[in-house]
Amino acid sequence: MAERRKRYNFKEGEIPDPEWIAEILVTVRKEVPGLLRDIINILYSEQSAKNMGKAVGVYYKTLQANGIPKDVALEMTKGYVFDLGRMFSKKNFDINGHFGGHQHG
């Protein structure tokens, strides 16, 4: 336990233990593909598509019910649909990896 704790508490500029880095990389290689697969299945499942379709329909109808003209409601609804491909495109990240070219958080 003390050895593991020591590896996590390195100072700035200090190089971490290579074995610790190797452990992290093995874990990442093992876990990340399944995590990505799960995320894709959640976002692009048949049930998610049904839920998104319902949500988009309710959004559009609500805009119209509140007096928004059909053409404006349609444009607003198009913007409402969440597109991960657009969100994570290279143009949305600056050279430092900040979303939208702005540092967040």
Length of the chain: 105
pTM more than 0.85: no
Angle between helices 46-65 and 70-80 (to 10 degrees): 150
pLDDT reported for residue 100: 54
C-alpha 98/C-alpha 101 separation (Å) is: 5
pLDDT reported for residue 39: 85
C-alpha 59/C-alpha 77 separation (Å) is: 7
Segments in the chain below pLDDT 50: 1-2, 97, 101-105
C-alpha 65/C-alpha 4 separation (Å) is: 60
pLDDT reported for residue 33: 92
pLDDT tens digits for 67-94? 999 999 999 998 887 665 566 665 655 5
